[in-house]
Chain A
Amino acid sequence: MATADVTATPTRRPFTGRRVRFGDVSLQVVAGAAAAATTALVGLITWKVIDGSRLAIVKNGWGFLTRVAWNPVIGRELYGAGSFLFGTVVTSFGALLLATPLALGAALFLTELSPRFIRGPVTALIETLAAVPSVLIGLWGIYVLGPALRTSIEHWLHAAFGWIPLFGPQSAAGASVFTAIIVLAIMILPIVSSISRELFLGVPLELKEGALALGTTRWEMVRGIMFPYARGGITAALILGLGRAMGEAIAVTQVIGGSPTIQWNLFSTSDSLASKIASTYQGAVSRLQLSSLIELGLILLVLSLAANITAQWIVRQTARKHGVTRGGHA
């Protein structure tokens, strides 16, 4: 009996080698175009923002980065990013400083310490914190957190340590850098916490058992084994959190008060790059002012991209490192 050609059936054409189907090609082209467009989008965003700030770049010069000024009066316009850069740095790093121990602590709680039955709900609740819109956290910050801080912690710190410039007199407006830092910390806590949680879950059980079997306490095992193992990922998580804090405009502008000066006083008002843009945009009259605001946005974009790309690079580096199999060679 002749061997049946299983690929040739009466209703199909014989298999004559590579045939490119129109449907396959079009799907691939369309889908590929979507991917390419997205890649182009990032470049387009960067280019457009540069383009929009071109006027300001030319007029303001390099001094823009350090100049502390924002004078929109026509005829005497002078703009500088110095105070806003300072504000962004202070609020973002302050938020990171505050959020990191809390986030790591919560992640450790969820992976090592909590009873099984509350693990799921608490994880969901902490991730839900990330879902709360920034405008609501800001609203809460203005009318609940701000006043509470003012009468309690800010008051005590100023009374006790007022001689340190950091804890100077409280602002009249009730808004402060301190409130902004706490608001930002609340916003980045869930991100750092959930990434850390995943990292801690990924520490191999055998490493943890090996450490505990030596007679170490759980904390010693965490500090000596889990943290070093997860170090790269945690760093990336922190940088991502930093980027998120730098880019937050709405919640910050609601609670920070908006003053274009550089002060070391945590309880004074201030402004960050993002919050300045958000608060001033609608009142921008002159083209130079608008362009200067966009230049602020450019600085913000550069900082955010730097943070994001650094974090991604670290993630990919650590993934490669942990992918190394053990006991490589005899």
Chain B
Amino acid sequence: MDRAADGAQARRHPRGTRVSAQELSGPSVRNDRLARRRRVGHAMEAGAWLSAAIAVAILGLVVWSVASKGRSELNLNLITKTPIPFSLTNAPQGLSNAFAGTIVIVGLATLMALPVGILIAVYVNEFAPPSIRAGVGLVLDVLSGVPAIVIGIFIFLLLVVGSGQSALKGSLSLAILMLPFVARTTIEVLALVPNSLREASLGLGIAAWRTTLSIVLPRAIGGILTGTVLAVARVAGETAPLLFTSSVVGTKTDWDPAHALQTIPVAIFELSESPSPQDHARAWAAGFILLMFILFASLGARALVTRHTRKISGR
């Protein structure tokens, strides 16, 4: 075999730098162009690794801070005792009013948002022509872009001015925040239900409305609930709208939606501005419980999403 290779190459490429086979054996001084390109590539890849690491590290830092700083106040008192503002003694206090209020407000918000969200999804998926479908999709996207504080102002102007705050009004503002989320995930989930199911039902002579309510929705219920859990997790930590609608609260553990009730996020917000270190610790502790709830709900729901989508679409 003659090694006319180099000669042939010279003949073919009389000009320019030509990467030769020597390059194959790794970084070569002769062609620093490839070496430089490789260095740049590696630097960029290192940057990508670093970015992901930073993102995960921040999450870790926040969780760790929340877990460690609230430890002194993380006890049963937190949930069972009421707060004692401006306390000069060491009487045990907690945030029982906030826990109760959060349950009431978030629960009511879910009850308000869920049916409306499902109805919107049913309309978009089962009845609407494509142009309206796109329009409603746009409306939902726009609604989800309205800042939470503006929603708070809205409910304030609509309902609170003149009549005062209440948990119900707070729930309404949270429901508006949840709505686009619930509607969108329900739309996606309904779209997964195979058409053959609908056709089978209609083919049997079952009315469209019955098909939707008794066949399609139950099939999709897993995904709908998962989406709801995610929406609840999202909204459980909302503070801004409640400042306008349910922030002037009492310290007693109150479950009445007609009153303004305290919620955990608002309590944390107010405690964070206080000068007392016990208040801070209580804020961290309450934050820990809130965060744990949200993390379990989010991660749990996400873990179930794949299972549900498979079940719904029948694959």
A and B part of one assembly: yes
Task: State whether the Cβ of B168 lies closer than 8 Å to any Cβ in chain A.
Answer: no
Alpha-carbon separation in the docked complex, A207 to B249 (Å): 60
Residues of chain A within 8 A (CB-CB) of B213 are 27
Q: A27-B212, A218-B41 are in contact. Are A294 and B153 (CB under 8 A)?
A: yes
B295:A48 contact, CB within 8 angstroms:
no
A72 to chain B, nearest CB (A): 18
Q: Quick one: which of B138, B205, B272 contacts A139, CB cutoff 8 A?
A: B272
Task: State whether the Cβ of B299 lies closer than 8 Å to any Cβ in chain A.
Answer: yes
Alpha-carbon separation in the docked complex, A109 to B44 (Å): 10
Residues of chain A within 8 A (CB-CB) of B149 are 247, 249, 274, 277-278, 297, 300
B240:A249 contact, CB within 8 angstroms:
yes
Q: Is the interface of B mostly helix, strand, loop or mixed?
A: helix
Task: State whether the Cβ of A97 lies closer than 8 Å to any Cβ in chain B.
Answer: no
Alpha-carbon separation in the docked complex, A296 to B158 (Å): 17
Alpha-carbon separation in the docked complex, A304 to B54 (Å): 28
Residues of chain B within 8 A (CB-CB) of A186 are 58
Alpha-carbon separation in the docked complex, A28 to B65 (Å): 50
Q: Is the interface of A mostly helix, strand, loop or mixed?
A: helix
Q: List residues of B (38-57) whose CB comes within 8 Å of A's CBs.
A: 38, 40-41, 44-45, 47-52, 54-56
Q: List residues of B (270-315) whose CB comes within 8 Å of A's CBs.
A: 272-273, 280, 283-284, 287, 290-291, 294-295, 298-299, 302
Q: List residues of B (43-89) whose CB comes within 8 Å of A's CBs.
A: 44-45, 47-52, 54-56, 58-59, 61-62, 65-66, 69
Chain B, residues 135-151, CB within 8 Å of chain A (1/0): the string is: 11011111111111111
- Provide a sorted-by-A list of 25 A–B residue pairs whose CB atoms are within 8 angstroms: A21-B207, A23-B207, A26-B209, A32-B128, A34-B116, A34-B123, A52-B157, A101-B47, A106-B48, A113-B49, A128-B298, A131-B234, A132-B294, A133-B290, A136-B237, A136-B268, A136-B287, A138-B269, A143-B65, A189-B55, A247-B146, A249-B148, A277-B153, A278-B243, A305-B145
A95 to chain B, nearest CB (A): 14
Among all A-B residue pairs, the 5 with the closest Cβ atoms: A133-B237, A247-B147, A105-B51, A308-B145, A31-B123
Q: A134-B239, A136-B237, A218-B45 are in contact. Are A301 and B65 (CB under 8 A)?
A: no
Alpha-carbon separation in the docked complex, A45 to B146 (Å): 9
Q: List residues of A (117-131) whose CB comes within 8 Å of B's CBs.
A: 122, 124-129, 131
Chain A, residues 127-163, CB within 8 Å of chain B (1/0): the string is: 1110111111111101110000000000000000000
A175 to chain B, nearest CB (A): 11
Q: A28-B123, A217-B38 are in contact. Are A105 and B47 (CB under 8 A)?
A: yes
Residues of chain B within 8 A (CB-CB) of A305 are 142, 145-146
Alpha-carbon separation in the docked complex, A4 to B105 (Å): 60
Q: List residues of B (203-223) whose CB comes within 8 Å of A's CBs.
A: 205, 207-210, 212-213
A42:B142 contact, CB within 8 angstroms:
yes
Task: State whether the Cβ of B167 lies closer than 8 Å to any Cβ in chain A.
Answer: no
A300:B139 contact, CB within 8 angstroms:
no
Q: Give the contact-size bracket for chain B.
A: 35 or more
Q: A250-B269, A312-B138 are in contact. Are A129 and B55 (CB under 8 A)?
A: yes
Alpha-carbon separation in the docked complex, A101 to B209 (Å): 49
Residues of chain B within 8 A (CB-CB) of A106 are 48, 51-52, 54-55
Q: List residues of A (90-105) whose CB comes within 8 Å of B's CBs.
A: 101-105
Alpha-carbon separation in the docked complex, A285 to B179 (Å): 33
A282:B139 contact, CB within 8 angstroms:
no
Alpha-carbon separation in the docked complex, A52 to B156 (Å): 10
B49 to chain A, nearest CB (A): 6
A239 to chain B, nearest CB (A): 10
Alpha-carbon separation in the docked complex, A308 to B145 (Å): 6
A274:B147 contact, CB within 8 angstroms:
yes
Task: State whether the Cβ of B181 lies closer than 8 Å to any Cβ in chain A.
Answer: no
Nearest residue, chain B, Cβ from A105: B51
Nearest residue, chain A, Cβ from B132: A35
A219:B45 contact, CB within 8 angstroms:
yes
Task: State whether the Cβ of A248 lies closer than 8 Å to any Cβ in chain B.
Answer: yes
B62:A126 contact, CB within 8 angstroms:
no
A45:B127 contact, CB within 8 angstroms:
no
Task: State whether the Cβ of A198 lies closer than 8 Å to any Cβ in chain B.
Answer: no
A26 to chain B, nearest CB (A): 7
A247:B148 contact, CB within 8 angstroms:
yes
Task: State whether the Cβ of B111 lies closer than 8 Å to any Cβ in chain A.
Answer: no
Q: List residues of A (1-40) whose CB comes within 8 Å of B's CBs.
A: 12, 21, 23-24, 26-28, 30-35, 37-39
B48:A126 contact, CB within 8 angstroms:
no
Residues of chain A within 8 A (CB-CB) of B128 are 32, 35
Alpha-carbon separation in the docked complex, A101 to B294 (Å): 28
Q: Quick one: which of B66, B158, B244 contacts A136, CB cutoff 8 A?
A: B66
B157:A114 contact, CB within 8 angstroms:
no
Task: State whether the Cβ of B100 lies closer than 8 Å to any Cβ in chain A.
Answer: no
Task: State whether the Cβ of A254 lies closer than 8 Å to any Cβ in chain B.
Answer: yes
Alpha-carbon separation in the docked complex, A305 to B142 (Å): 7
Task: State whether the Cβ of B265 lies closer than 8 Å to any Cβ in chain A.
Answer: yes
Q: Quick one: which of A45, A124, A247 contacts B299, CB cutoff 8 A?
A: A124
Alpha-carbon separation in the docked complex, A218 to B150 (Å): 44
Task: State whether the Cβ of A234 lies closer than 8 Å to any Cβ in chain B.
Answer: no
Task: State whether the Cβ of B120 lies closer than 8 Å to any Cβ in chain A.
Answer: yes
B209:A23 contact, CB within 8 angstroms:
yes
Nearest residue, chain A, Cβ from B143: A42
Residues of chain B within 8 A (CB-CB) of A240 are 145
A133:B284 contact, CB within 8 angstroms:
no
Task: State whether the Cβ of B124 lies closer than 8 Å to any Cβ in chain A.
Answer: yes
